[in-house]
């Protein structure tokens, strides 16, 4: 799980007796009641199984990019990505995957030129404001389990670490969803409102972020044998019920979420001498967990 903030960030060893202070964000999340957690539907979970056996789990955000995501579901159903690869890794930027040859025909039913789903109306989103200044948006906050940026009229997903976007060529191209990338460095937020984001990696990001960087232009692997083979990509709802992974996110309307965001902006756990008094939206990731067996 990638989204758990950690206590004693730089201590090689935890102290024998920590001073009594406020709980760390991770402690607040661990203590959140079952009612504060919401299930992630199986039809919004995409599973990338690499040839080496590792799995990467993506949560999709159809409320932000429905046409691109419908394309992705159709591509998965058509097995478009089976035997595809990760073919680009650019340091402090992105890892990208799909059909490295760019020659594989798209299956029938794919919208070749989706609308530019770069923003959506702010109406219909119950945004919990984060409340701190941001260089890229008038407002940031959380809604429906997602980080959100807004100019007051439109809303969009910020380009935070582990977010998943749709590769495209120059406008008017908007990308089909066949070529995808994830952020593996500092949030490249200048891309916002210029690219369709479709979700985020909630588990297994290490299989994307710890890869050798590509030495070609833009981090493309120069040799075909450097590519990382993808065995399959599936929507979890395609699997037999017993094989579907179950994940939950912390409801941004819950008191636990409010306490978590306050603690992320004002760390008072023992390692910290001085709380920051603020946080940027990409430093307040939505807590994610596997659904406990007892919660079934």
Positions in 265-284 near a copy of itself (CB under 8 A): 265, 267, 270-280, 282-283
Which one of the spans 35-43, 44-52, 121-129, 164-172 is the region binding a copy of itself (CB under 8 A)?
Answer: 164-172
Tell me which of 43, 70, 136, 232 binds a copy of itself, using CB under 8 A: 136
Write the interaction track for a copy of itself spanning residues 27-66; mark x where CB under 8 A is met and - where it is not: ----------------------------------------
Nearer CB in complex with a copy of itself: 145/147: 147
Rounded distance, CA 45 to CA 203, Å? 11
Q: In a 3-state reduction of DSSP, which class is residue 286?
A: coil
Tell me which of 12, 108, 241, 294 binds a copy of itself, using CB under 8 A: 12
| DSSP bridge pairs for 96 | 88, 181
Contact positions with a copy of itself (CB under 8 A) in 209-248: 209-213, 217-218, 220
Tell me which residue of 36, 13, 11, 105 sits closest to 288, measured CA to CA.
Answer: 36
Contact positions with a copy of itself (CB under 8 A) in 78-107: 89-94, 96, 102
The radius of gyration of the chain from alpha carbons, rounded to an integer in Å, stands at: 20
* Cα 18 to Cα 4, 14, 15, 245, 270, distances in angstroms: 20, 8, 6, 37, 7
Tell me which of 81, 97, 181, 247 binds a copy of itself, using CB under 8 A: 181
Nearer CB in complex with a copy of itself: 118/146: 118
> How far apart are CB 166 and a copy of itself at their closest, in Å?
8
> How far apart are CB 89 and a copy of itself at their closest, in Å?
8
Sort strands 45-50 and 55-60 into parallel, antiparallel or unpaired.
antiparallel
- In terms of Cβ atoms closer than 10 Å to its own Cβ (0-12, 13-18, 19+), residue 294 is exposed
Per DSSP (E only), the strands in the chain are 37-39, 45-50, 55-60, 85-90, 94-98, 120-121, 128-129, 139-143, 146-150, 154-156, 163-166, 180-183, 197-203, 228-235, 247-250, 288-290
Contact positions with a copy of itself (CB under 8 A) in 246-265: 264-265
> How many residues bind a copy of itself, per CB under 8 A?
76
Which one of the spans 6-14, 30-38, 49-57, 120-128 is the region binding a copy of itself (CB under 8 A)?
Answer: 6-14
């Amino acid at each position: 799980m990638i989204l758990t903030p950690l206590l004693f960030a730089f201590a090689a060893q935890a102290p024998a007796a920590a001073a009594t202070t406020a709980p760390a964000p991770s402690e607040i999340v661990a203590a959140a009641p079952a009612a504060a957690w919401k299930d992630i539907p199986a039809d919004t979970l995409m599973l990338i199984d690499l040839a080496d056996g590792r799995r990467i789990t993506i949560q999709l955000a159809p409320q932000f990019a429905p046409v691109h995501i419908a394309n992705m579901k159709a591509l998965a159903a058509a097995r478009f990505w089976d035997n595809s690869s990760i073919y680009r890794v650019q340091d402090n930027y992105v890892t990208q995957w799909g059909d490295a040859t760019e020659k594989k025909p798209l299956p029938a039913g794919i919208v070749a030129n989706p609308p530019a789903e770069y923003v959506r109306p702010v109406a219909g989103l119950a945004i919990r404001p984060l409340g701190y200044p941001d260089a890229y948006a008038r407002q940031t906050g959380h809604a429906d389990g997602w980080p959100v940026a807004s100019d007051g009229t439109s809303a969009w997903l910020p380009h935070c670490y582990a977010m998943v976007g749709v590769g495209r060529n120059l406008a008017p191209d908007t990308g089909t969803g066949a070529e995808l990338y994830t952020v593996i460095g500092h949030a490249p937020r200048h891309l916002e409102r210029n690219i369709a984001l479709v979700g985020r990696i909630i588990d297994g990001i290490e299989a994307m972020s710890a890869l050798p960087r590509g030495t070609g232009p833009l981090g493309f692997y120069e040799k075909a044998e450097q590519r990382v083979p993808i065995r399959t990509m599936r929507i979890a709802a395609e699997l037999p019920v017993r094989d579907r992974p179950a994940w939950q996110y912390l409801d941004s309307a819950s008191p636990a979420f409010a306490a978590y965001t306050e603690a992320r902006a004002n760390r008072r756990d023992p390692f910290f001498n001085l709380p920051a008094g603020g946080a940027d939206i990409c430093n307040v990731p939505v807590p994610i967990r596997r659904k406990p067996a007892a919660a079934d």
